[in-house]
Structure 1
Amino acid sequence: MNATVNVLCYKSKTLANGENPLMIRVCKDGKKKYLSLGVSVNPIYWDFEKQKPKRNCPNKEELQRLITMKTEEYQKLILDYKVANKDFSATSLITKTNAASKARTVREMFDLYIARLKDANRLRYAQMYESTLTSLLAYNGHLDILFSDIDVPWLKRYEAWQYKQSFALNTIGTRFRHLRVVYNLAIEENIVKPDHYPFKKFKVSKLNEQTAKRSITKEEIISVLNYQGKSYYECLAVDVFTFAYLTAGINFADIARLTTDHIMDDRLVYSRKKTKKLIKIPLQERAIELIAKYRQDNSPYLFPILSTFHKTEQQKVNRVHKVYSHVSKHLKAIGEELKLPIKLTTYVARHSFATNLKRSGVATPIISECLGHSSEKITQIYLDSFGNSQLDEAMKNLL
């Protein structure tokens, strides 16, 4: 027996407001299964013969859209079962479709994705998506909307609203990329049809501000490395910058997590937290000196950023962020004192590592001129793919 799916106004149950709930009914093998759509309608606005809202029904278009969407969702699943030659019942059909539809609104999908990031211990990314969620809520008032409600005009209004709030172009671009990720997730989980996808016409790529190069010359690098700090954090800032420059631009979050286990035969061997890529870097003499300077017997960490006190991932993330703020503040001040042409950050060490090797004649296949997000993986692949002798020779050009 074929399965049938339809939506009806359930007259057997009357709510306190006098309305009847709309129910989806699945019939299969003589058995019927009902599930509420979560909405109700006054029976005077319902055509019980045709089982659809009357012309004068308030919110008729929204109701009809919901009915069509839910009916098509079940019909698609039935077709999938038939194509796969799998048996099913009215109960199993309702159960599977209801489970897939638990997270249906934009707010629910954002909450789901953020929860998945947290489960994977990607806490900084989770915080970034929470920031985007806050922005969307401030703009729209709520996100109890369907993904099909987010069309090109909606995106353009959100873009205009952000410009009015004087947000930077890169910040706006980041928020749209986050929204796009969650929208793609909704498509993957059959929450919304690909036909509704608005990012084919609304191009997020236009919201990328071209970032100026963040490298300084070898002479300027040496002036930073030779800077005599006047406080604990000034010294730590210079030492972290130095270590990052001498170890292929390792970022601050990875420096914070380095332990004695990452030192193997005078090489730094670690997996980059962001990409999980294995990095192997020969340690320069000054880098070894910095490790010896900060090494403490009561701590496994190479630098005094994390300690055994920080046990949970959230504690580690919070601590790294706090120390990074201090280091960034002092690097900026040091750069201004040295009259460097650009703002001094740990990221400058990453770019300068690449550009100074290139200016010294090191082959492009060994290093990448730019270590931004678009080329990090390529750079790391190159650093891994060449033999240790080539990399060791290349690293001698850093100073």
Structure 2
Amino acid sequence: MNTNIKISLDKRRQKKDSSYPIILRLTHFRKTTSISLGHSVQKEFWDDKNEKIKRAFKGTNSVSKLNNQFLKEKARAVDIIDALNEKEELDHLSIVQLKSKIVKITSYESFFVYGKMLVDEMKAADRFGNANTYYAVIKVLEKFTNGNDLKFNEINYDFLNKFERWHYSRGNSVNSLSTYMRTIKAIINVAIRSDVLSKDAYPFTNYKIRTAPTEKRALDITSLKSIMLLDLEESDNLFHYRNYFLASYMLYGISYMDLAFLTTENIIDNRIKFQRKKTAKPYDIGITEHLGKILSFYLKDKSSSDFIFPIIKRDTFELQYKDVLWARKRYNKGLKEIAIKCKINQRLTSYVSRHSFATQAMLQDVPLQAISAMLGHNRLSTTQIYLKTLPNEILDNYNRDLVDI
């Protein structure tokens, strides 16, 4: 069996009285999570080998009674795991699903507790992007509920409409609400698939998530050339930001996150080979002459495992992810300066290189299916979102062809 459970002290979360929570440490297919047992104790009073509180502990009327309570909780969890194993269901469950079966989360339990559990699982799986998105919506909902808990059964059609009105009353946009609503919907869908929530409790049956058209993001070829030809000193941060933008464009509109994590090991036989972090889709892109010149500048004196671009500074993946988020903020500020220098009127951000690549590919008559594959989309409809706004001059040319008869 690839699953085990033990009573443990959670030494990552020290309380103000220097005690640590006592938990059930659940391990399932090498992933680990915790289930709170509602008590805490200082390190010196915990017997890790025997999984119990030491007799010298004075924080309870009966140490043995408390230890027996922990053993009962562990035994109950083991019984659930064994029963799932006998029914040959255990190996098909994620650790989130298994935990939900053990803690018996129901439709009347906390949406916040469940959402934070998903956040912890995502962080454990190095899915920090999704974890941050889920955590952000939980914090917003906590503000909306004035710090009160939010039960699953309270999230209904009326609740969603009240949250929408509150969101707009604070001067926020349609698309930011859309992001929050899609995240709430995603958490509820996970809860339903994990048998935490009944399908009948689904609140989005009659609620429609709306979006507003976004501003034009793709650059025309003249603007792209002006960025490429911009004269910058190597000591200027804008020199690097310009290179990142062009490298992203030349690598099928690679995201800033994926660009930052490229290492010299990703260069094989004059090609860049990597997996996109968001979708795990593999890429294999030939290095063109222009891209080669940019890469050669950054590859000087690099070892086989070094990052190509000087964006990430720290060692652990979580800290590296934070490095990229902070660097991206500075990068976007730098792109605004580049837009001014190049007399580009539209807003220049890290996403513009991706949209520009898609639009230029379309204008060069690259088939839609090929563009979709290059962008790493699973559906053509997603690609069409990138291409929904054609440059006005192109539409004018089409119109002239139609009326010039």
Same fold (TM over 0.5): yes
Q: Supply the RMSD in Å over aligned alpha carbons.
A: 3.1
1:17 maps to what in 2? none
- Give yes or no for the alignment of 1:178 onto 2:183: yes
Q: What secondary structure sits across from 1:199 in the alignment?
A: coil
In the TM superposition, what is the alpha-carbon distance from 1:377 to its structure 2 partner? Answer: 10
Residue of 218, 223, 235 corresponding to 2:221: 218
Contact 2:106 2:196 in 1 (8 A): no
Contact 2:249 2:357 in 1 (8 A): yes
Give the Cα separation in 1 of the matches to 2:345 and 2:228: 16
In the TM superposition, what is the alpha-carbon distance from 1:365 to its structure 2 partner? Answer: 2.8
2:160 maps to what in 1? 155
Q: Which structure's CA Rg is the greater one?
A: 1
In the TM superposition, what is the alpha-carbon distance from 1:306 to its structure 2 partner? Answer: 1.9
Task: Map 1:97-108; keep pairs closer than 5 Å.
Answer: 99-101=103-105, 104-108=109-113
Contact 1:306 1:316 in 2 (8 A): yes
Give the Cα separation in 2 of the matches to 1:187 and 1:256: 36
Residue of 234, 245, 249 corresponding to 2:253: 249
Give the Cα separation in 2 of the matches to 1:303 and 1:376: 32
Contact 1:223 1:338 in 2 (8 A): yes
Superposition TM-score, scaled by structure 2 size: 0.65
Contact 1:295 1:301 in 2 (8 A): no
Task: Map 1:345-360; keep pairs closer than 5 Å.
Answer: 345-360=349-364
Contact 1:237 1:327 in 2 (8 A): yes
Structure 2: gaps spanning 5 or more residues: 1-37, 39-79, 88-98, 384-405
Structure 1: gaps spanning 5 or more residues: 1-37, 39-76, 85-94, 380-399
**Alpha-carbon spacing, 1:322–1:293, altered in 2? closer, same or farther (3 Å):** same
Q: Which amino acid aligns with 1:190?
A: D
Residue of 284, 289, 293 corresponding to 2:293: 289
1:304 maps to what in 2? 310
Task: Map 1:1-399; keep pairs closer than 5 Å.
Answer: 99-101=103-105, 104-142=109-147, 144-204=149-209, 206=210, 208-230=211-233, 232-298=236-302, 300-307=306-313, 310-368=314-372
Q: Which amino acid aligns with 2:283?
A: I
* CA deviation vs aligned residue, 1:88-125 (integer Å, no higher than 9, x gap): xxxxxxx9966333893111111111111111111132
Q: What secondary structure sits across from 1:367 in the alignment?
A: helix
* CA deviation vs aligned residue, 1:1-40 (integer Å, no higher than 9, x gap): xxxxxxxxxxxxxxxxxxxxxxxxxxxxxxxxxxxxx9xx
In the TM superposition, what is the alpha-carbon distance from 1:297 to its structure 2 partner? Answer: 2.7
**Alpha-carbon spacing, 1:364–1:194, altered in 2? closer, same or farther (3 Å):** closer
**Alpha-carbon spacing, 1:323–1:127, altered in 2? closer, same or farther (3 Å):** same
User: After the TM superposition, which segments of 4 or more aligned residues of structure 1 sit over 6 Å from their partners?
Assistant: 376-379
Contact 1:358 1:369 in 2 (8 A): no
Moved more, 120-129 or 366-375: 366-375
Give the Cα separation in 2 of the matches to 1:224 and 1:131: 35
Contact 2:258 2:277 in 1 (8 A): yes
1:44 maps to what in 2? none
In the TM superposition, what is the alpha-carbon distance from 1:366 to its structure 2 partner? Answer: 1.9
Contact 2:217 2:356 in 1 (8 A): yes
Q: What secondary structure sits across from 1:329 in the alignment?
A: helix
Give the Cα separation in 1 of the matches to 2:381 and 2:276: 10
**Alpha-carbon spacing, 1:222–1:164, altered in 2? closer, same or farther (3 Å):** same
**Alpha-carbon spacing, 1:212–1:294, altered in 2? closer, same or farther (3 Å):** same
- Give the % identical residues: 28
Give the Cα separation in 2 of the matches to 1:369 and 1:213: 22
Contact 1:358 1:367 in 2 (8 A): yes
Give the Cα separation in 1 of the matches to 2:148 and 2:189: 17
* CA deviation vs aligned residue, 1:330-375 (integer Å, no higher than 9, x gap): 1112113322242112211111112112212333332149959885
Superposition TM-score, scaled by structure 1 size: 0.66
Give the Cα separation in 1 of the matches to 2:182 and 2:338: 34
Give the Cα separation in 2 of the matches to 1:279 and 1:378: 18
